[in-house]
Amino acid sequence: MVVFETVNELTLKVTCQGNDTIFTKAGAFIAGESGTKNYKFEKVLLGPEGNIGQALLGSFMRRATGENIPLMKVLMNGDSVTYYANLGQHVVVYQLDYGEMISVESENLLAFSGDCKYSIRFIGVGMFSQKGLCTTTLTGNGANAYVAVICDGNPLVLSNVGTGTTLTADPDAVVCWIGNGPCDPNITADVNWKTFIGQSSGESYQFEWSQHCPVTVIIQPSERGGNYSGANVRMSID
């Protein structure tokens, strides 16, 4: 079994007892310790899906939708501790319950354990978000379903679970959202004549989770470069 935890906010520590496998962003390994070196790295050629057919389909979807990131498999054959990081970014670790789902931007995914089911899911129209039509989804599929995500700076964590509030966030600042099911946000746009004469507020579109969609959202204090095209649209994603 493996356990994920953070060290000094910037590093992921993975403790393994026995044999196990994790997946990480390629090149994220920075250090390790064990009695003898009993872990090794393999490039993931297609994807971490369970069989060759799913892996081929997943690889095609990731390349077609911009959710493709190079992954490596870490094979652990005995007790060990390994460490992973990415460009000094902050690391957040979350342990998924069985069936619980995290939807994360691929560039913010650092590592996940073998007890997570990996997939790509359509969520919206690509003009709204820098990352386009899809999101990477990990679902708890065992007792040790860990996910580590990376953020530019200390993250803000918001939740409407049990509070009944509505959460709103800039899509280009959202790292991931977590819930018992897909629970994708509504995408709202507020565009008027000022937008077309260069007087936009700069916050013309948002992700919105209503009280009927209980989620926890992790937001970084930094925005990706947006590619909003200025269309006047309000739509709901099921």
Q: What is the span of the domain harbouring residue 98?
A: 2-235
Q: What is the CATH number of the domain that holds 51?
A: 3.60.160.10
* N-to-C CA span, the chain: 36
Q: What is the pLDDT along the chain (238 residues), one digit of tens a residue?
A: 999 999 999 999 999 999 999 999 999 999 999 888 899 999 886 656 555 554 455 554 555 545 457 889 999 999 999 999 999 999 999 999 999 999 998 889 999 999 999 887 777 544 444 444 568 899 999 999 999 999 999 999 999 998 989 999 988 899 999 999 878 888 777 655 454 444 444 556 788 998 888 999 999 999 876 544 333 333 333 3
Give, for 53, the enclosing helix (H) or strand (E). helix 52-65
Residue type, 53: G
CB neighbours of 85 closer than 8 A, spacing ≥ 6? 10, 11, 12, 28, 30, 91, 110
Q: How many domains does the chain have?
A: 1
Cβ atoms of 163 and 217 within 8 Å: the answer is no
Separation between Cα atoms, residue 73 and residue 64, nearest integer Å: 22
How would you class 1 by CB atoms within 10 Å of its CB: exposed for 0-12, middle for 13-18, buried for 19 or more? middle
User: What was the pLDDT predicted at 146?
Assistant: 98
Q: Which SS3 state, helix, strand or coil, does residue 227 take?
A: coil
The residue among 160, 196, 164, 190 whose CA lies nearest residue 178 is 160
CB-based contacts of 105, cutoff 8 Å, min separation 6: 131, 135, 136, 174, 175, 176
145 class by beta-carbon count within 10 Å (0-12 exposed, 13-18 middle, 19+ buried): buried
Question: Cα separations (Å) of 138 from 80, 141, 233?
Answer: 25, 9, 29
